[in-house]
Structure 1
Amino acid sequence: MSEIFDNTVPSPCIAYCCVDDQQICQGCFRSLAEIAAWSAADRQTRLTIVENAKRRADDAQAL
């Protein structure tokens, strides 16, 4: 059974919402699709979203 509304994975949102041309939030580094999916995402999906956001944040700092 899927874990709907799993709050054990905290949202990476930092309340700085500014979306770039690639539709990535420059505050939390999630895509708009990931942000929209977050509230209904199960634990594994949320972990994947957080991993993707961390990778994007790391890539942005490397520039």
Structure 2
Amino acid sequence: MMKIEADRAKCDGLGMCEAMAPDFFEVGDDGTVVVLDEQPGEEHRQDLSAAVDACPVLALKLRD
């Protein structure tokens, strides 16, 4: 099962992930990423991979 991991200490709150996959990420009130669904279905892998790859500070990972 795929899992989204976010390193909130690395996050700069730039919002690239939220822009690319708003159903799964948002920038919280504290300016860091909030993962809305940590274990998404496999059908979302392509969109989530693109969002993870777009993170300029490498704060996101997908794990299997």
Greater RCO (CA < 8 Å, at least 6 residues apart): 2
| Higher Cα radius of gyration | 1
* Structure-2-length-normalised TM-score: 0.40
Instruction: Point out the structure with the larger strand share.
Output: 2
Normalising by structure 1, what TM-score? 0.40
Which of the two has greater helix per residue? 1
